[in-house]
Structures are given as structure tokens and as C-alpha cells.
Structure 1
């Protein structure tokens, strides 16, 4: 009977190395998320979370099949209905602008009026 094992020293060294790598990764994630464009980071995390939720609902073969069918049908549909797709896109863009201005007018402006933001005060020079 053959048994394979590692020494305590090797296991401890490996655990310390993994801990160091994970801490470095967390520092990098914090640096990217907090110091640079945090909204891009948040959107990426939300997208990856959504992708993981969708991915956990079925297996890899199903996703490969769906990806293959989509990659073969979407370009053909785009070439055939390009003008209609762009027209609907422009219409959707106008509706979203109108909806945002309506929300801005009714909700956001009322919130801005209720919450007073401390603006920097201009100091007068005393001579």
C-alpha cells in the first residue's frame, strides 16, 4: 500500500503563499474599485453576478448551444433589419430621455430642494 503525503512545513508554506496571494488580490480589487472608476467596477461586479446566476441555472452544453445559435442568427437578423433596429433604438433613446427628464422634474428636483447641500462659502477679505 502506497501513501502520499506532504510535510507540515510544506503545507504551512503553501497556506501562507495562498493567503498572501489572496490579500494581494483583495488590495488590487479595492484599488481598482475605490480609487479609480468605481461605477465601472460596480457594473462589472453586477454583470458577473448576473452571469453566475444565469450560469448556475443550466449546464455548459446548453450555454454552448444557445451561444452557437445566437452567433449564427443575430448577424443575419442585423443585416436584414438594420434600418428598423436603428429606428427603434433612436425611438427608445428619445423615450428614455423624456422619462429621465420627467423623473428629474418630479422627484430629483424635490429631493434637491428638501436636502440642502453645503456649498463652499466665499470668505470676504477684511482689510
Structure 2
């Protein structure tokens, strides 16, 4: 739609200026350029799948939780808007986030490290509690088996 609208506006502006609109009747996409585009898309999709598998299979809880939180936030925001609004927000964020990161890189890195330390402490605490409960249940089962014998 954007391409068609752009060509429409471009040709009408040229007509207003008294120039000939471009002749697009011989415009064609070669098989080679289509294959190159398909290979590039395939490579990006494979990279995304590898990243998803890495995040889901490794024991890096921070990467997993940030990914889940980011997807949840995206789904939450998407429930209030449509695709064009999301694309607009994505473009604006893509243009502003790198500039902000470059300007405040040291503060952002310190904050990320602090969050990593806190999240690892929380996950270790949760793991210890779960492991203690599992050990208690295993010991209780073993004691019951011994009593039955």
C-alpha cells in the first residue's frame, strides 16, 4: 500500500509540475533478486529461531525472563492498538532508543548489572526453597518406605 500510494503521489506531483510521470510498465523483479531476498529472509528467520531456542534451553534466567516480559508487554500494548500504530511505535523506538543508549550508556549498564545481580539472588533464593521442599518430600517418602518394611 505504501509503495502504491508513494508512486501515486509522485506521479501526480510530476503532472502538477508539468513533467511526464515515470514509465513503470517495464518494471520487473528478476529471479535472482527475488532469490536473494528469500535467502536473506530465511537467514533472519533461522537466526531468530536459534535465538529463541537458545533462550528457552539455556539456564540463563535473566534472558528468559526479559524475553517473556518483553513479549508480554508487546502483547499487552498490541491489545490496545492496531498494526499501523505498532509499526509507528516500533519505528519511533528504533530511532530514539539507540540515541538514548549512546548518551546514557554507563548509567544503563550499571542499572542492567544491578538488575542481573538482584534477579540472580531472587532465582537462587527460589531455587533453594524449592530444592529444600523437594528434599523434604523425598526424605519423607524414604522414611515411609522404611517404616513399611
TM bin (shorter chain): 0.3 to 0.5
Give TM-score, length-normalised by structure 1.
0.46
Q: Which structure is higher in helix share?
A: 2
Determine which structure has greater relative contact order: mean sequence separation of CA pairs < 8 Å that are 6+ residues apart, divided by chain length.
Answer: 2
